[in-house]
A and B are shown apart, each in its own frame.
Chain A
Amino acid sequence: MTQMTMIQAITDAMRIELRNDEHVLVFGEDVAKNGGVFRATEGLYDEFGEERVFDTPLAESGIGGLALGLALQNYRPIMEIQFFGFVFEAMDSIASQLARLRYRSGGAYHAPVTIRSPFGGGVKTPELHADNLEGLFAQCPGLKVVIPSNPYDAKGLLIAAIRDNDPVIFLEHMKLYRSFRAEVPEEAYTIDIGKANIAREGKDITVITYGAMVQTALKAAEQLSKDNNIECEVIDLRTISPLDTETIAHSIKKTNRAVVVQEAQKQAGIGAQIIAEINDRALLYLDAPVGRVTAPDTVFPFAAAEDVWLPNENDIKNKVKEVIAF
C-alpha cells in the first residue's frame, strides 16, 4: 500500500499496463515528453519511449481515427482528449466509429480503446474545459463510461478499462486529481466496470451519485447524521454506463427514499436515466418521489460564477430533508 493522489493512481495504472502488455499505446496532445498537461503520463515516455508513448498533432478527431486504425492493427490504445469539452471535435470518431466497430462488423472487429479525459468544475478553468458531458456518451450504444471518485477506484477501474475489449470513456474529475491521498495497492488489481460502490451505509435514504459529487455527498451525509439524525446510504456509481441498477434498486428497497446527485445540468448527466430505472425496478418501495440535485440548465458558468452554480453540500442536505419530509 502507498498513499497516492488520484492522478498518481492513474499514472500508476497506465505504467502497469504498459509493462504488462506490449500492445498498450498511450497518445494524445502533450502526453509524451511533457508528461501531460496534468502530469498524468509523467515518466511514461522516459520509461517506454516514443514507440509506446507519443504526441499527436492538435486534432481530436484525428486522434480518435488513429485509435481505431491502431486497434485494427491489434494495438490497445489509450488515447487522451486534453479536456472533455473538446470532445465534440472527436464525436464522430468516438460515437459513430469506435462505439460501432464491433456491431457494424458483425463481431469481426473490435476496438479495445480507452479514452481518457479530464473534466469537472471547481478549479476555475477557462471556457469549455470543465463541462459535464458524460450524459452524451451514456446515450451511445457500444460505449462504457467510467467516472472514478477516488485514487483506489481510479487505478482499479483504469486497469479494467484498458483490459476491456470494447471502448471505454474514462473521465477524470480535475478537482479530484490532487485534492486528497488514499491507500492504493502497488500491484495490479481491477474493479469491475458496471459495479457501483456503497461509499457509506445508511438506512434512511439512498443518495446516488458519481465523480466529485461523491465527496460532496459524503460530507453532506456526515452532517445530516450529526445534525438531523438522518442516515444516508451513499452509492458511488463508478460507472455511469452501464448502470448498476441492481445495487441501486437493492438500496432503495431498504431505505425507500432516494436522491440523485450530479454536477451536470438537470437536462444533462445521467440523473433522469437513474430515476427511470428506479421507477421500473423499485417504484412500489418508494415513500417519496426521487429527488434530484443538479446544476441549473445554463451553459457551464464563467469561472467566477462556479461557486454559486455548482451543486454543493447544502443543496444535497436540503434535498435530502425535503424527500424525508415528503
Chain B
Amino acid sequence: MVPEYGSEEIRKMFPMLRILDTQGHVVNEQQKPEMTNEELKELMRRMVYTRIWDQRALSLNRQGRLGFYAPVAGQEASMLASEFAMDQADWLLPSYRDIPQLVWHGLPMYKAFLYSRGHFGGGQYPRELHAVMPQIIIGAQATQTAGIALGLKKRKKKQIAFCYFGDGATSQGDVYEGMNFAGIYKAPAVFICQNNRFAISVPVEKQTASETLAQKAVAAGIRGIQVDGMDPLAVYAAAKNARMRALAGEGPTLIETLTYRYGPHTMAGDDPTRYRTDELTDEWEKKDPLIRFRLYLEKLGLWAREDEERTAEQAKKDVAEALKEADSVPKQKVTDLLGFMYENPTPAIKEQLEFYGAREGAQQ
C-alpha cells in the first residue's frame, strides 16, 4: 500500500532531525555527533566569521565595491556545518549563494570577491581546490554532481561530491535527473537542499504539493532526510552520516535543511518586504543558529565574549585584506577572454586576438 499524500505515514518517514533546540539544549543525545571541543569551537568561529563577512559584503555591495551577491545570514548552520562534514579532498558543487562553503573549502577570499565583481580570476581555482564554480543555472550542478561522483567511484577514490541547491531548485528537471543518475550508479554524492522557504518571492508551498522536500529522494530511490537547518549539530550529523554511507558504497543522500535567509534574495534590488512578513522573519530570528550554538558552547565553557569579538575582528581584517588583493588584480582584457575559449585558438579567434591585441596596444 502506498501511503496517501498528507498521511501521517509519509510524515513519519521524514521526521525532522534536531539535536539542539533554540535555547541550545541537546534534545537528541543519541544522534549527537562526535565532535572534539576544538571542532565545536572551530565551527562556531566559522559561523560567526561568516555572519560578519555577510554584513560586510552587503555594505561593500552598496558602496559598489562588490557586484553580484546573494546574502547568507541565517543559513550559517546549513552551509557551514555541512561543509564541515566534508573532507578537504571531497568535491563541492555550489549554487550562486554557496560562496561561504567554497571559501571554507579553500577558495581564497579575494577570489570570491573577484567572482562577485565579474572577473575571470574568480573562477581560476587552484588545482588542490576540489570545487566547481558557483552555478547560476539552477539545478545544473546536480547532474554534474552525478558525473563527478561517478568519476570518483570509477577511480575508487575515497572522496565524495557535495551538491547544494535551494528549495525552488527541486522543481527543476536537472535536480531530479541528477539525483536519479547518482542513484542508479550508486555514486558517492550528497545533495543538500537548503529550504529557506522562498525562491525569490515564491514560497515553497507554491513549488510543490509535497509535504517535505526530503521525500523527493523517494522518486530517485535514494535516502532522504530532513534536518533543522538552523541547528549546526543536526546538519553536521546528517552530512557526516550521508558521507560515510556514500563512502561505504550505499549511494547518494538528499538532505533537506529547513533554514531561512534574513536578507534579500540578492543585492540586485530584491525587496523581501514585498513577499515576507516581519512576523515570519522575527520567528526565524528566534531560531538563529548562532544564538543556539553560542548558548550550547557557553554552557560547555567553550565560547566567551572575547572569542566572539576576536572572530569578528579577524573577519573584518580578512575582508579588508581580500578586498585590497582583489583591487590589485589587473583588469581584464579582451585578449585574455579570447585566450580562454579553446586550447588552440581557431582561425576566427586568432584574427580577433590580433585585432584586440592591436587595440589594447594602442590604448597603452
Contact = CB atoms under 8 A, between A and B. Distances in A.
Given A51-B154, A57-B184, A142 B143 contact: no
A169 to B, nearest CB: 14
A95 to B, nearest CB: 11
Contacts of A244: 347
B26 interface: no
A246 B147 CA distance: 39
Which of under 10, 10 to 19, 20 to 34, or 35 or more describes the interface residues of A?
35 or more
Nearest to A164: B343
Contact of B155 (A73, A93, A165): A73
A300 to B, nearest CB: 24
A65 B180 CA distance: 12
Interface string B181-207: 100100000000000000000000000
A101 to B, nearest CB: 9
Contact of B146 (A65, A92, A105, A166): A65
Given A75-B151, A103-B337, A106-B340, A65 B178 contact: yes
A69 B145 contact: yes
Contacts of A93: 140, 143
Contacts of B133: 104-105
Interface string B128-147: 00001100010010111111
A59 B180 contact: yes
B309 to A, nearest CB: 37
A110 B343 contact: yes
A62 interface: yes
Interface in A128-143: 141-142
Nearest to A74: B151
B77 to A, nearest CB: 28
B315 interface: no
A165 B340 CA distance: 12
Contacts of B143: 61-62, 64-66, 68-69, 93
Given A62-B181, A96-B137, A69 B341 contact: no
A66 B146 contact: yes
Given A69-B143, A92-B140, A194 B347 contact: yes
Nearest to A90: B143
A55 to B, nearest CB: 9
B249 interface: no
B121 interface: yes
A142 B347 contact: no
Contacts of B341: 102-103, 141-142
A65 B142 contact: yes
A102 B147 CA distance: 17
Nearest to A277: B348
B177 interface: yes
A67 interface: yes
Contacts of A109: 125, 132
B217 interface: no
B132 A194 contact: no
A246 B348 CA distance: 11
A199 interface: no
B158 to A, nearest CB: 14
Contacts of B144: 65-66, 68-69, 72, 97
Given A65-B143, A69-B145, A69-B149, A105 B125 contact: yes
A72 B184 contact: no
A56 interface: yes
Nearest to A112: B343
Contacts of A61: 143, 173-174, 177
Most chain B beta carbons < 10 A, residue from A74, A107, A245 = A107
B174 A65 contact: yes
B124 A106 contact: yes
A245 B349 CA distance: 13
Given A62-B174, A106-B340, A69 B151 contact: yes
Q: Which 4 A-B pairs have the closest CB atoms?
A: A69-B147, A65-B143, A73-B151, A62-B177
Given A59-B181, A93-B140, A103-B337, 16 more contacts: A57-B180, A65-B143, A65-B145, A65-B146, A65-B147, A69-B143, A69-B144, A69-B146, A69-B161, A70-B148, A73-B155, A103-B341, A105-B133, A106-B124, A109-B125, A166-B342
Interface of B: 91, 120-121, 123-125, 127, 132-133, 137, 140, 142-152, 154-155, 161, 173-174, 177-178, 180-181, 184, 337, 339-343, 346-349
